[in-house]
Amino acid sequence: MSGTSEQSNFEIVPPIILNEDADVQAYPSVEAVICHVEVTDILNNEYSFHDSTGRVLEAQVHKGKISLVPTSKVEPDSEMLRSYIVGVLRLRGVPETGLSNAPFSELARLLAGKSRR
């Protein structure tokens, strides 16, 4: 079985987290995030993507089209990613109380409500 068919067995659970050098944003769908990224930046590995479960999404480019493919890697406890999200939420006025212990899905939901687009 190829890596792509193995990857496609996982479901992507929105919102989708886009991380560009600690500037994290959340999008309601794969389609929404794809509209805001550029092929060149994908090819240069300038972004990382996660869904609301912390699942790592691999960005792929085929014939100029971007797709996000779920991988088997899940990082809901990534201290770095969580700290980026908490930092952005604080900057956008979300009280810090409880954020550091919040489930990743809750952080993703809060970020989705505060993301600028």
Per-residue pLDDT band at 116 (split at 50, 70, 90): low
Q: What pLDDT digit, counting tens, does each position of 20-64 carry?
A: 999 999 999 999 999 999 999 999 999 999 999 999 999 999 999
Q: Identify whether the C-beta of residue 12 lies closer than 8 Å to the C-beta of residue 68.
A: yes
- Pairwise CA distance, residues 28 & 31, whole Å: 8
| In the chain, domain spans | 3-114
User: Across residues 68-92, what is the average pLDDT?
Assistant: 94
Q: Which residues pair with 26 in a beta bridge?
A: 17
Side-chain-facing half-sphere of 33: CA atoms under 13 Å:
29
Query: Which residue type does 34 have?
Result: I
Inter-residue contact 88 to 27 (CB < 8 Å): no
